Amino acid sequence: MFEAAELGRKISKKDFDKEEPELHTRLLAVQRALRETPIPVIIIVSGVEGAGKGQVVNRLNKWLDTRGIETTAFWDESDEERERPDYWRFWRRLPARGSIGIMFGSWYTRPIINYVYGRIDDSEYERQLHRISKFEHMLFEDNALIVKFWFHMSKKDQRKQLEKENKDKRYSPLLKKFSKRYQQFAAASEHAIRLTDQGVSPWHLVEAVDRRYRDLTVGRILLESLENKLKDYEAAKHRHRGAKTAKQPTAETVTVLDHVDIEQTISDKDYDRQLKKYQKEFYKLTWAAKQKQRSSISVFEGWDAAGKGGGIRRMTAAMDARLYKTISVAAPTDEERAHHYLWRFWRHLPRAGYVTIYDRSWYGRVLVERVEKFAREEEWKRAYQEINDFEEQLHEAGIVISKFWVHISNEEQLRRFKEREKTPWKAHKITDEDWRNREKWDDYTLAVNDMVTHTSTSYAPWSLIPGDDKRLARVEIVKAACRRLEEALSKD
Amino acid sequence: MFEAAELGRKISKKDFDKEEPELHTRLLAVQRALRETPIPVIIIVSGVEGAGKGQVVNRLNKWLDTRGIETTAFWDESDEERERPDYWRFWRRLPARGSIGIMFGSWYTRPIINYVYGRIDDSEYERQLHRISKFEHMLFEDNALIVKFWFHMSKKDQRKQLEKENKDKRYSPLLKKFSKRYQQFAAASEHAIRLTDQGVSPWHLVEAVDRRYRDLTVGRILLESLENKLKDYEAAKHRHRGAKTAKQPTAETVTVLDHVDIEQTISDKDYDRQLKKYQKEFYKLTWAAKQKQRSSISVFEGWDAAGKGGGIRRMTAAMDARLYKTISVAAPTDEERAHHYLWRFWRHLPRAGYVTIYDRSWYGRVLVERVEKFAREEEWKRAYQEINDFEEQLHEAGIVISKFWVHISNEEQLRRFKEREKTPWKAHKITDEDWRNREKWDDYTLAVNDMVTHTSTSYAPWSLIPGDDKRLARVEIVKAACRRLEEALSKD
C-alpha cells in the first residue's frame, strides 16, 4: 500500500507560491461557511515519525482562522484519563459543531503502538480497530466530517531525517525509538488503514518527503473534503425537511412492563429493617469498591412521579458524600448542544473508585426524544447500538453499571400528581409538561419496552422496579445496587 | 470561640417535624427565585471530623431541588490538579450563576491540615488565609453568596462518635487519624475562622452533636442568607440602573506607549538570521521546560492588525506541536458567561511542562470592557488587583508568564486595514467593528497605559513590542519569550 507514497513527488517553490494564495483564501471561506452549520470537523494527523506532522499542524493553523480550530496532541496521559474508559480522553477533546479539531495523535496511536510492541495480540488489535470504525461511523452520523491523513516516508528517508535532526540537535524522543521498528510499524499501520478506510472517514496517504508537496496536498484534500461536506449538508437539509416521518408507533398489547408486579407492598417493619440492612451493606460495598478502584454508574429512568428522587436519596444516604456525584439531566448547555448527544454523559464519568448517579440519562434519546419526535426515527433507532457500545466501553474499563426503570401504574401516577399539587414543597415538581406527558402514556410504554429489549445486556442489565409502593421501590433499588456491586467485586 | 458551640443544644423530634415542612418549602421557593438571578451560591461544609458533614450534605440535597445543586468533595487530588496552581481545582468546580455549589472540604482544608502537621509555618499560614479572604471577596464582588458552616463538637463528643463508628464498623479513614490531634486542629481552625470571618462571607459555627439541631440550624441560616441576598440583589438592580457612570476618561498627554520606538526597522538579512536563531533557542528552551515540568503562559494583546497572529505563529512554529495550545479568546460560551470572568481563563491553564498561548486574554476586562462600558467603572478598576493576584498564583505554581502588547501607530493601522481589504485571504479579518474601534484610539491608549502601569509586575512584566515593522516585532517577540523562559529556568 505504501509504495504509492514513495514516488518522489515534489512541488517547486514557484508552483507552491502560485497555488497557495487561492488555496488559503478558499480554505478561509469554507471555514467561515462551516461556522453556520452543525458540522464538527475532525482532522487526524498521523503517520511515520519524522514525516513532519508538527509542521503540517502549524501550516494548517496558518492557513485557517485560529478562532475555531483546536489542536490536541494525545500524548502524555493524565491519571484523570487513565482512571476512565479509554475513549474519555478523545470525547473530551472532540470539536464542537462548526469548528475544527486537529488531532495530533488519535485513537489510532495506542492500538498501533501496543500491537507493535506485542502488548496486544492480533484479535485484540482487530477488535480495537473495529471499535474505531464504529466510533467514526457514529460521529459521521452526527454530521461530523472526518479527514484522516497518513504521512508516509520510506525507511531510507526516515533515516535521513533522523540524521538531520541529530545534526541540528533537535530533541525528538520518539523518532529515534520508533525508527528501529520501521517495518513493524509499517505492517501494523497498513493493517489499521485497511480496516478503517471507510467511506464515512477515508484515509489519505500523503508522501511526506517534500514539504511543499506534502502541505499543498493536505490543503487540497482538506479543501475538497470541506467543500463536498458543505454541499452534502445543504442538499440533505432540504431532503430531511420533506421526509419527516409520519409513521406512528402502535402500542402492542403486552410489554415488559406488564410483567412488573406493582401490586407488591412492604410492611412498615420490614421496610425499616430491610432498608437499614441494605444501606449498611451498600455503605461497605462502596468503600470496598473505592479501595479496589472500581467505579460505578447508576442510571435512573422512570415515569414522572415514580419516585426516582426518593430512590436516589436512599442510595446516596448510604454512601460517604465524598464518593458520589449526582447528575440531574436537564436541558443541555450550549457547549453540550454543540456536541454528539453522548458527549455530555462522557463528561461526567467517575474517576476510579467513585460513583456517578444519573437522574435521567442518555436513554432520553430513545424515550422523550423518540416520543416527542425531537430525534428522527433513524436517529433513535441507531441509538440502541450506540448506547450498547458506550456501556460496553464503560464495562470494559471496570465500571459497574446499574440501570433502574421505576415503574408505576397510570392510576398511581394520577394520584401522586394530585397529591403533589396539594403539598407545598412538592407543588413545584408538577408542571403542565407532566400532564402532557401523561397523555402519551402508551407511546412511552412502547418506547420503554423497546429500550429494555434492546439495551438490557449482560454487562448492563435493566432492573424494573415496582414503584406503586414507594417504600418497596426504595428497598428494591438499594438491594439491586448491592447485588450488582457485590457481584462485580467478587470477580476481582 | 468554640465554647459557644458546646452548649448542648437540642431539638426534639416533634419540634423538628413541625418546623421542617415550612423550611423545606421556603428553601425550594428561594432556590427557584435564585435561578433567575446572576447569583452563584457557594456553601462551604467544614468542621471537625465526626461532626456529620456528610449527613448535612445529604440533608441539603433532600431539602433542595437537586437540579441546580452540585456537590463537590475536595479530596483525592488528581495529577491534572497537582500540575496546576492550587486554586485550579476550586475554580473548575465553582457553581454557575443561579445554581448552588456545596463544597465538602474547600480551600480551607489543605492550609489547616498542612499547618497542623507542621508543613507550613505561621507566616505562610497567614498568607494562605489572606489569599482565601481575597478570593472570597472577589467572588462576592461577582454576585456570589458564600455561606460557610463550621461544625463543631467537643473532644469528648468526638471520641464518642469514634467509638460509635468503630462499633458499627463504618470505615471512616480521617476521623481516627485526625482525632489524635484534636487540640491542634481546634487552634488552627479557630485562627482560620477568625481571619476569614468577613462580612462578605461570614462563618456560621454550628453545634453538631444533636443531628436535628444541627440540620435545622443549617437550614435556617441558609434560608435567611438566601432570602437576604435576593433582597439585596433586587435593591442593587435598581441602584445600578441609576448610577451608571457618566464620567469619561480623559487622554493624558504622555503614556507608556509614547516610549515605544516604533520607527525601528530590521533588514531582510538580520530578520532571517535573528528569527532563525531565536526560534532555535526557543525550541530548546521549551523542551528543557518540559523536562523540568515548568509551564508557560504567553498573553498577546495589541491594536487590531498589529500583528499578534504573526507573532504567535513565529512562536508556535518554534515549538513541538505537542507542547502548546493556542486559545483564541472570542465571545464566551453560556457556561463561561455563567461564571466569574476569570473562570474561562483558569480552565485552559496548562499542565506541568506545557505552554498555553492566549490570543487576547483576561486583559479584555480593562481594555474593551472598559472602553465599551461593558464593565462598570468599579468592576474594571478592581480588575487590576484581581488580575495581579491571579498571575501571582500562576507564578507561585512555577508558571512562566510573558505578556506582549504589540504596538503600532495610528497611521500604520490605517494602512494595514486598507491593505487587508484588498487581500483575499485577509479581507475577513477586517470588520465594521475594527473601524469603530479605530475611532476610540485615544480611549484605548489611556486604557493600555493604565493596564501596563497597574499590571506590570516583577513576576509578570509586560513587553511592549514595536510593531510598525512586522518582522522586527516577530523577532522581538520570540526573543523576549526566550529571555523570560531562560531566566526562569536558570533559577531552578
Q: Please indicate whether, in this complex, the C-beta atoms of A78 and B351 are within 8 angstroms of each other.
A: yes
Check pLDDT > 60 for residue A163: yes
Of A402-411, A421-430, B371-380, B461-470, the least confident: A421-430
Question: Measured between beta carbons, which residues in chain B are less than 8 angstroms from residue A80?
Answer: 78-80
Q: Dihedrals φ, ψ of B204, to 5°?
A: -120, 115
Question: Measured between beta carbons, which residues in chain A are less than 8 angstroms from residue B78?
Answer: 78-80, 351
* Residues B218 and B86 placed together within one structural domain of the fold: yes
Mean pLDDT confidence for A110-128: 93
What pLDDT score does B322 carry? 87
- Which set of grid coordinates corresponds to residue B295? 509551564
Q: Please indicate whether, in this complex, the C-beta atoms of A25 and B322 are within 8 angstroms of each other.
A: no
Q: Give which of A171, A280, A348, A360 to mutate to test B binding, by max B Cβ within 10 Å.
A: A171
pLDDT digits (tens, 9 = 90+) for A81-100: 888 999 999 999 999 999 99
- How far away is chain B from the Cα of A293, in angstroms, using its nearest Cα? 12
Last-in-domain residue among A189, A213, A241: A241
Question: Measured between beta carbons, which residues in chain B are less than 8 angstroms from residue A424?
Answer: 21-22, 25
* pTM: predicted TM-score of the whole model, two decimal places: 0.83
Q: Please indicate whether, in this complex, the C-beta atoms of B322 and A351 are within 8 angstroms of each other.
A: no
Q: Is residue B180 part of a domain?
A: yes
* Residues A163 and A303 placed together within one structural domain of the fold: no
Q: What is the mean pLDDT of chain B?
A: 90
Check pLDDT > 90 for residue A25: yes
Residues of the domain holding A347: 256-490
What one-character-per-residue DSSP string does A385-423 give? HHHHHHHHHHHHTT-EEEEEEEE--HHHHHHHHHHHHHS
Mean pLDDT confidence for A188-206: 89
Tell me the range of A166-175, A237-246, B39-48, B66-75 where mean pLDDT is highest: B39-48
Mean pLDDT confidence for A329-333: 87
What pLDDT score does A243 carry? 45
Q: Is residue B250 part of a domain?
A: no
Of B107-116, B167-176, B382-391, the least confident: B167-176
* Residues B199 and B260 placed together within one structural domain of the fold: no
- Triad B428, B430, B431: Cα angle to 5°: 100
B43 and B222 Cβ atoms separated by less than 8 Å: yes
What pLDDT score does A9 carry? 87
pLDDT digits (tens, 9 = 90+) for B46-58: 999 889 999 999 9
Q: Please indicate whether, in this complex, the C-beta atoms of B326 and A66 are within 8 angstroms of each other.
A: yes
Q: Is residue B296 part of a domain?
A: yes
Of A109-113, A391-395, B172-176, B457-461, the least confident: B172-176
Q: Please indicate whether, in this complex, the C-beta atoms of B321 and A28 are within 8 angstroms of each other.
A: no
Which of A67, A323, A424 shows the shortest C-beta gap to B328?
A67
Question: Measured between beta carbons, which residues in chain B are less than 8 angstroms from residue A54?
Answer: 320-322
Of A228-242, A336-350, B419-433, B473-487, the least confident: A228-242
Question: pLDDT-derived band of residue B246, with 50, 70 and 90 as boundaries?
Answer: very low
What pLDDT score does B213 carry? 95
* Residues A228 and A286 placed together within one structural domain of the fold: no
Q: Is residue B453 part of a domain?
A: yes
Q: What percent of chain B has pLDDT over 90?
A: 67
Of B90-104, B111-125, B174-188, B196-210, the least confident: B174-188
Q: Is residue A77 part of a domain?
A: yes
Which CATH number covers residue A480? 3.40.50.300
Q: What is the mean pLDDT of chain A?
A: 90
* Residues B276 and B400 placed together within one structural domain of the fold: yes
Question: Measured between beta carbons, which residues in chain A are less than 8 angstroms from residue B361?
Answer: none
What pLDDT score does A429 carry? 79
Which of A28, A169, A312 shows the shortest C-beta gap to B425?
A28
Q: How many inter-chain contacts (A to B, CB under 8 Å) are there?
A: 124
- Which set of grid coordinates corresponds to residue A452? 429494555
Q: Is residue A477 part of a domain?
A: yes
Q: Please indicate whether, in this complex, the C-beta atoms of B80 and A80 are within 8 angstroms of each other.
A: yes
Q: Please indicate whether, in this complex, the C-beta atoms of A359 and B171 are within 8 angstroms of each other.
A: no
* Residues B162 and B280 placed together within one structural domain of the fold: no
Domain count, chain A: 2
Q: Please indicate whether, in this complex, the C-beta atoms of B424 and A333 are within 8 angstroms of each other.
A: no
Q: Is residue A296 part of a domain?
A: yes
Check pLDDT > 70 for residue A358: yes
Q: Please indicate whether, in this complex, the C-beta atoms of A73 and B323 are within 8 angstroms of each other.
A: yes
Question: Measured between beta carbons, which residues in chain B are less than 8 angstroms from residue A283?
Answer: 170
What pLDDT score does B248 carry? 52
Which of B75, B169, B330 shows the shortest C-beta gap to A322?
B75
* Residues A204 and A309 placed together within one structural domain of the fold: no
B286 and B356 Cβ atoms separated by less than 8 Å: no
Mean pLDDT confidence for A47-73: 90
Q: Please indicate whether, in this complex, the C-beta atoms of B330 and A104 are within 8 angstroms of each other.
A: no
Mean pLDDT confidence for B342-360: 94
Distance CA B326, CA B317 (A): 12
In chain B, whose CA is at the least distance from the CA of A75?
Answer: B322
* Residues B141 and B28 placed together within one structural domain of the fold: yes
Query: Which sign, positive or negative, has the C-alpha torsion B243, B246, B247, B251?
Result: positive
Of B93-102, B275-284, B316-325, the least confident: B316-325
* Residues A73 and A207 placed together within one structural domain of the fold: yes
Q: For residue B455, give every residue at least 6 positions away whose Cβ sits within 8 Å of its Cβ, in sequence order, or none.
A: B363, B366, B384, B387, B388, B391, B403, B462
Check pLDDT > 90 for residue A473: yes
Q: Is residue A248 part of a domain?
A: no
Which of A61, A320, A328 shows the shortest C-beta gap to B316?
A61
Residue A6 CB burial class (10 angstroms; 0-12, 13-18, ≥19): middle
* Residues B229 and B268 placed together within one structural domain of the fold: no
The position carrying cell 505563529 is B313
What pLDDT score does B345 carry? 95
Last-in-domain residue among A181, A211, A241: A241
* Residues A217 and A328 placed together within one structural domain of the fold: no
pLDDT digits (tens, 9 = 90+) for A395-423: 999 999 999 999 999 999 999 999 988 88
Last-in-domain residue among A184, A209, A241: A241
What pLDDT score does B180 carry? 82
Check pLDDT > 60 for residue B313: yes
Q: Please indicate whether, in this complex, the C-beta atoms of A428 and B317 are within 8 angstroms of each other.
A: no
* Residues A401 and A486 placed together within one structural domain of the fold: yes
Distance CA A13, CA A307 (A): 71
What one-character-per-residue DSSP string does A155-187 give? HHHHHHHHHHHHHHT---HHHHHHHTTHHHHHH
Residue B403 CB burial class (10 angstroms; 0-12, 13-18, ≥19): buried
